[in-house]
Amino acid sequence: MSLDGITIRALVYELQYALINGKINKVHQPENDELLLDIRNNGISKKLIISASSNNPRIHFTKDTKKNPMSPAMFCMLLRKHIQNGRILSIEQDGFERVIKILISSYNELGDLTEKELIIEIMGRHSNIILVNNEEEKIIDSIKRVTPDISSVRQILPGMKYTPAPSQNKISPIDLNESNFLSFIKDDKSSNQLYKSIYENFVGISPLIAKEICNNAEIYENLNTDELNEEDSKKLFSSFKEIIGFIMNRNSNPTIVYNEYKTSILAFSSINLNQFENVRKENFDSINEMLDTLYETKDRLDRIKQKSLSLKKNIKTKLDRDKNKLSKQKDELLKAKTREKYKIAGELITANIYRIEKGMKEIEVIDYYNDNKDLKITLNPNLTPSENAQKKFKRYNKLKSAFAEVSDQIKQTKAEIDYLENILLSIENASDLDDLEEIREELIEENYIKYKKRNKSKNKKKKKESKVMHFLSSEGYDIYVGKNNKQNDYLTLKFADKNDIWLHTKDIPGSHVIIRKNSNEIPEQTLYEAALLSAFNSKARMSSNVAVDYTEKRNVKKPNGAKPGMVIYENNNTLYVTPSEKEISKIKKAD
């Protein structure tokens, strides 16, 4: 998921409007592969971020500010010498390629006006930012030098002539007629799938845009190109030309597509993406605004992922340990269940004590407790008959005590496993750093992780509380869903009224869900939607026919000493639902 030629074309139009004739006031290099330019034009200052990062190469306006290193990098010093205080003459895209060229006019050390070209190549791990002397077309330097050891095909080094990246032999989508368009697709033998044939033949078309072209033409994207009939061919070309024309006419509809809870980005583009249904879409006024939001969101989600990994690892280690402990405890319980045979053996030895002499290794007796069948009892030849009987009774009493003790231990271990699985689910459902911080604080309070002292700040910020999820049912009822144990306790024990409806997946870790009753009977559809939310926000998210219990909140209690989020309930009914993102997306989010 990266910038494609279509989006870059729309972005260039915006940059041309905002930056041509602008003055580059400052040049910064906050990262090894990233520049930040302060540009002023028509009395308005803009921060332009240009990144050659392998993961997120990009160029756009940003509101973000990063700390600069104490000593500027060599490339930064070079740019300050050559383009700082310069004027932007033009900004162009190289065809529909992912290459942007910014022509800059500035004075050299002798006071002569010169032109330099800042070339931004947005090509994944091959991304680069290159400064070129425009008259001689020679490379002054680049943010990433490419030596013969790195690439035998194309080197980027000071003093060398700049040559564009090798062509992929794709066709420009501009001024393409229907017959040429179809011949390229149908003659393409490298791929029989329709959408692949589109993006592999035309410059600037990504797999996402190729699928959008097929979707708008109402043609199956994986259709074999040999099966494309005349009518579908016309619809496909019309869809293709409509998207290209939309961009060429300087139009855009910047869109980011998220999953339901905005915990992952599914796609983004300069056009509206009709191929995605029943998901969350966010539209923007400009490509720059979309890209700034996109990369800020990606950065935030990456930080959430990184922070959650250490928490998950910690909890999974403890969970594995508890599961092993439970297995051993169950083995001990099975042994303890054999205790009755020792009691019976002791009683039968006592009843036949007159027949037993010291030194005997076993005795065969009539088992009065099992239909008078014959039973062999092993004896310790070093013990007297009475001592043998006492040994059997002692073993019985020991196993009897062990049974009660191990049964209690198993109950505690199962409760801890449930709790830890609930914590794992909360970590997976965390949508921001505040959610994770609440989980971390809970684990510190419950002594699962150690508290790390932090530097005290004089201006200590007030801790930000994360919010529960709030939905509106199709019939207008408020539904609230907790994202972690602290929120679950708050919802159930403090927020909910005694008449509100409380829901939770049956015997499965998950969120507490509350329906505000407001003195009315809850309609079946609202109850069903709340049950869907309960199942979707549980460990059974990917299951079908999930059992969801519901009852009035008055029937829900928290036992003394119970861990956060753990409750007991009674007088409940059960609904069975199959959760899915498509069904969940139909339930309106209130905020």
Lowest mean pLDDT among 188-197, 264-273, 390-399, 421-430: 188-197
The alpha carbon torsion through 277, 279, 282, 283 (nearest 10 deg) reads 0
**Residues 489-502: tens digit of each pLDDT:** 999 999 999 999 99
What 194-201 contacts at long range (C-beta under 8 Å, 24+ apart), as own/partner pairs, is 194/219, 194/220, 194/221, 194/222, 194/223, 194/224, 194/225, 194/228, 194/236, 195/221, 195/222, 197/225, 198/240, 200/170, 201/170, 201/171
Band of pLDDT at residue 185, cut at 50, 70 and 90: confident
Alpha carbon distance 571, 94 (integer Å): 70
- 78 or 465, greater pLDDT: 78
Burial 400-425 (b: 16+ CB within 10 A, else e): eebbeebeebbeebeebbbbbbbbbb
Band of pLDDT at residue 463, cut at 50, 70 and 90: low
Residue type, position 511, single letter: S
The strand pairing partners of 125, in sequence order, are: none
- For residue 460, pLDDT over 60 is answered with no
Cβ neighbours, 10 Å, residue 107 = 11
DSSP 476-539: S-EEEE-SSHHHHHIIIIIIS-TTSEEEEETTS-B--EEE--TTSPPPHHHHHHHHHHHHHTBT
* Region label for 391, one of left (φ > 0), alpha (ψ between -120 and 50) or beta (otherwise): alpha
* CA proximity to 101, closest of 63, 56, 59, 65: 59
Alpha carbon distance 205, 57 (integer Å): 18
All residues at 6 or more sequence positions from 48 whose CB lies less than 8 Å from its CB, including other chains: 15, 19, 36, 37, 39, 59, 60, 61, 62
Q: CATH second-level architecture of 178-283?
A: Orthogonal Bundle (1.10)
- For residue 123, pLDDT over 70 is answered with yes
Residue 322 contacts residue 417 (beta carbons within 8 Å) = yes
What are the domain boundaries of the chain? 5-142, 178-283, 308-450, 469-589
All residues at 6 or more sequence positions from 290 whose CB lies less than 8 Å from its CB, including other chains: 254, 255, 256, 268, 270, 284
Place of tokens 């199956």: 220
The mean pLDDT value for 33-37 works out to 94
Residue 267 contacts residue 276 (beta carbons within 8 Å) = yes
**HEC secondary structure over 307-356:** HHHHHHHHHHHHHHHHHHHHHHHHHHHHHHCCHHHHHHHHHHHHHCHHHC
Cβ neighbours, 10 Å, residue 169 = 7
The mean pLDDT value for 104-109 works out to 90
Q: How far is CA 505 from CA 532, 552, 555, in A?
A: 10, 15, 16
All residues at 6 or more sequence positions from 243 whose CB lies less than 8 Å from its CB, including other chains: 6, 209, 212, 213, 216, 271
Give residue 457's pLDDT: 46
What angle separates helix 194-201 from helix 207-216, to the nearest 10 degrees?
130
Residue 360 contacts residue 430 (beta carbons within 8 Å) = no
Cβ neighbours, 10 Å, residue 59 = 25
Band of pLDDT at residue 302, cut at 50, 70 and 90: confident
Q: How far is CA 79 from CA 82, 161, 317, in A?
A: 5, 18, 50
The mean pLDDT value for 30-38 works out to 93
The CATH topology of domain 5-142 is: ibrinogen binding protein from staphylococcus aureus fold (2.30.310)
Give residue 458's pLDDT: 42
**Residues 314-332: tens digit of each pLDDT:** 899 999 999 999 999 888 8
Residue 194 contacts residue 211 (beta carbons within 8 Å) = no
- φ, ψ dihedrals at 277, nearest 5°: -125, 155
Largest CA distance in the chain: 125
Give residue 465's pLDDT: 61
